[in-house]
């Protein structure tokens, strides 16, 4: 008998979590969910019905990263609730335990993407003449070396993080927003006074300063891109509720 595989899919309500593909689906359709909120959900689904402390979530999701943990956890929980259509006051899936942590309270069904396999009798090994057995290991070794050489030749080197530098110390930056730069300054979303705004800071670090946006805007979404190193193209939400480009 072959031992059962660990669950790779978890279902609850109309949702399905595919841990292998790192995807959240609703009725079979993929839902856009950023990496940290997805990891947040994955940790809760490891022990459904049990309280996961804020300390454990911070350790599992951010390790030793220099961030405002409370603010980052609150943002991750908010984005997860938005993806699930859940309500913090009347939760169906994600329950908040004030000052303690979070708990997944919905019924969960786990499964594997492939059925359990049964061991089958081994086929009879073909007989190899003794005169041929001498060069078989040498040929196999040459084939392996050739495959390794080809893979090394065609596989590009993956970029890596050499070091990290903390540029701001206010704890108001949105860790999930798009970050833009024109080479001398970095632009990002910042929450202040209960509202999101566009801020900028030098690439060397320092105190962030706000970026003026057209008056009359109710909400500012994430920046799109820097155009010609002179203009920032943004997606904004007008008072009428429609999106526009600025």
Same domain, 13 and 94: yes
Q: Is residue 97 part of a domain?
A: yes
- Half-sphere exposure (Cβ direction) of 58: Cα atoms closer than 13 Å: 16
Q: Which of 73, 88, 111 is where one domain is finished? A: 111
Confidence (pTM): 0.45
Read off the CATH number of the domain in which 104 is found: 1.10.10.10
Nearest 5°: CA angle at 104, between 109 and 222?
A: 110
Q: What are 89-129's pLDDT values in tens digits? A: 999 999 999 989 999 999 999 876 554 444 444 444 555 55
Q: Is residue 121 part of a domain?
A: no
Q: Which of 76, 111, 146 is where one domain is finished? A: 111
Q: Is residue 134 part of a domain?
A: no
Nearest 5°: CA angle at 209, between 212 and 221?
A: 55
| pLDDT for residue 166 | 75
Same domain, 107 and 184: no
Q: What are 54-103's pLDDT values in tens digits? A: 999 988 988 766 567 788 899 999 999 999 999 999 999 999 999 899 99
Strand partners, 6: none
Same domain, 103 and 184: no
Q: How confident is the model at residue 30 (pLDDT cuts 50, 70, 90)?
A: very high
CA distance 218 to 236: 8
136: Cβ contacts below 8 Å, ≥ 6 apart: 128
Number of alpha helices (DSSP H) and beta strands (DSSP E) in the chain: 5, 15
pLDDT, mean of residues 167-191: 75
Same domain, 23 and 104: yes
Structure-model confidence comparison of residues 155 and 188, the more confident one: 188
Tell whether the model's pLDDT for residue 38 goes beyond 90: yes
Chain-wide mean pLDDT for the chain? 75
Structure-model confidence comparison of residues 189 and 118, the more confident one: 189
Q: Is residue 4 part of a domain?
A: no
The total of structural domains in the chain comes to 2
Q: Is residue 159 part of a domain?
A: no
Q: Is residue 13 part of a domain?
A: yes
Q: What are 127-167's pLDDT values in tens digits? A: 555 555 566 676 777 777 778 777 777 766 666 666 667 77
Tell whether the model's pLDDT for residue 43 goes beyond 80: yes
Q: Which residues in 19-158 belong to E strands, given as ranges? A: 23-26, 29-31, 51-53, 94-97, 101-104, 109-111
| pLDDT for residue 215 | 61
Same domain, 189 and 100: no
Strand partners, 198: 189
Q: Within 10 Å of residue 22's Cβ, how many Cβ atoms? A: 12
Structure-model confidence comparison of residues 239 and 191, the more confident one: 191
CA distance 53 to 66: 19
Same domain, 190 and 98: no
CA distance 187 to 181: 6
Q: Which of 111, 139, 169 is where one domain is finished? A: 111
Q: Is residue 236 part of a domain?
A: yes
Q: Is residue 86 part of a domain?
A: yes
- Residue 190 CA from chain centroid, whole number: 20
What is the percentage of the chain residues whose pLDDT exceeds 90? Answer: 32
Domain that holds residue 219: 180-245
Pairing of strands 51-53, 23-26: unpaired
Terminal-to-terminal C-alpha distance of the chain = 63
């Amino acid at each position: 008998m072959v031992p059962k595989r660990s669950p790779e899919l978890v279902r609850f309500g109309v949702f399905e979590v595919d841990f292998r593909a790192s995807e959240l689906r609703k009725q079979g359709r993929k839902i856009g969910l950023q990496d940290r909120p997805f990891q947040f959900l994955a940790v809760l689904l490891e022990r459904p019905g049990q309280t996961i402390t804020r300390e454990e979530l911070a350790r599992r999701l951010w390790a030793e990263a220099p961030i405002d943990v409370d603010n980052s956890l609150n943002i991750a929980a908010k984005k997860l609730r938005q993806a699930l259509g859940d309500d913090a006051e009347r939760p169906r899936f994600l329950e908040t335990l004030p000052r303690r942590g979070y708990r997944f309270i919905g019924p969960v069904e786990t499964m594997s993407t492939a059925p359990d396999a049964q061991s089958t009798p081994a086929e009879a090994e073909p007989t190899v003449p003794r005169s041929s057995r001498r060069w078989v290991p040498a040929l196999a070794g040459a084939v392996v070396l050739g495959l390794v050489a080809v893979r090394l030749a065609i596989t590009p080197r993956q970029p890596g993080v050499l070091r990290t530098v903390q540029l701001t110390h206010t704890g108001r930056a949105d860790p999930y927003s798009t970050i833009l730069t024109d080479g001398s300054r970095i632009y990002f979303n910042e929450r202040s006074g209960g509202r999101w705004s566009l801020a900028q800071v030098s690439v060397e670090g320092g105190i962030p300063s706000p970026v003026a946006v057209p008056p009359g805007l109710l909400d500012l979404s994430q920046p799109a891109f820097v155009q010609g190193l002179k203009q920032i193209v943004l997606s904004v939400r007008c008072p009428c509720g429609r999106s526009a480009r600025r």
